[in-house]
Amino acid sequence: MPENNRPAPRPGQEHFVAAPDVVQLQVIDSVDTSEAPSSMWRDAWNEMRRRPLFWVSAVMIVVVVVMSIIPGVFTTALPRSGCELSNAFASPSAAHPFGTNQNGCDIYARTLFGARASVLVGTLTTTFVVILGTAVGAIAGYYGGWIDTILSRITDIFFAVPFVLAAIVILSLAQERTELTVAFVLAAFGWTSIARIARGSVLSVKNNEFVTAAKALGMGRFAIMVRHALPNAAAPIIVYATVALGTFIVAEATLTFLGIGLDPSTVSWGGDLSTGRGAIRSNPEIMFYPAGALAFTVLSFILLGDVVRDALDPKARKR
């Protein structure tokens, strides 16, 4: 319709067009290509570092790690030196900040040195569980078919066995119970949950466009699973591993408390809890300090797991 024959616009419907020299489209539509492209991991890190809970849990974990690796930073005493029965159940003092146990040993030193065994077992177990569970779950979820059926049934069989009960039975038959032995036994029956998580996560990404593009380029199935499917399915696996580390530390302490876990000669929180339970009525501090250190460690990993879960979950970020 010619411009002269157009009807007059109604009130409130007038159109205003700015002059070309006023609106510089090249400035408005320009894109900054100098910045690195964003990714899920970069967004998750930006989300985590803005949360105070992340820094609180990080500081707690750093303290636990330093206690495990170099306990001499916090004390010059040794857990087995200076143990005298004449000094049993001594009150807290400058020489013994937490007092002494029934054998006259320094509770403060034993609490610090006990972190090494418990954290080492938890770390080794989590590593074994992540490797085994992720491999089984990823292969079952990506290849499907009869491979998925067999691996899923094997997972169900192991999942039906309580891993702490199975660990008690197997460790009771072991001649030597070191940190590596306990970690292997716990991992042998604790990988099923992460296998299910990995299988479901790989199933959710195996039909995405980037997997189809990799197939079109001629990439093999195993290479696609390792290079494309697993990295994009790793978020729930990382979240579970962070929380599971604290769970396995508690499992080791439970087994050692029952006399089935680490050898009695190994300084650990579970061992100190076991030896101190006889004096819990008269001297409860003997169990309070190792139990408090155990709770502090588990809480730090649980808090970190909550932060990582919220950061890697887009729906949680939107909420």
- Bridge partners (DSSP) listed for residue 100: 106
**pTM for the predicted model, two decimal places:** 0.80
CATH assignment of the domain containing 235: 1.10.3720.10
Nearest-angstrom CA–CA distance, 136 and 302:
25
Per-residue tokens: 265: 């000669």
264: phi then psi, degrees, rounded to nearest 5: -60, -25
User: What phi and psi values does residue 100 have, to the nearest 5 degrees?
Assistant: -125, 160
Residue 44 resides in a domain? yes
- Would 257 be classed as within a structural domain? yes
Domain extent, residue 283, equals 40-318
Residue 58 lies in a domain: yes
Q: What are the tens digits of pLDDT across the range 63-115?
A: 998 888 888 788 877 777 767 777 777 777 777 788 788 777 888 888 888 88
CA distances from 132 to 104, 191, 226 (A): 43, 7, 14
Confidence of residue 45 (pLDDT cuts 50, 70, 90): confident
C-alpha–C-alpha distance, residues 139 and 133, integer Å:
10
Residue 267 lies in a domain: yes
pLDDT per residue as tens digits for the range 198-222? 999 888 888 888 888 888 888 888 8
Whether residue 232 is contained in a domain is answered as yes
Q: How many domains does the chain have?
A: 1
Is 197 a member of any domain? Answer: yes
Question: Is 214 among the domain residues?
Answer: yes
Tokens of 28: 């408005």
| Digit-coded pLDDT (tens) for 154-196 | 999 988 888 888 888 888 888 888 889 899 999 998 899 999 9
Q: Is residue 283 part of a domain?
A: yes
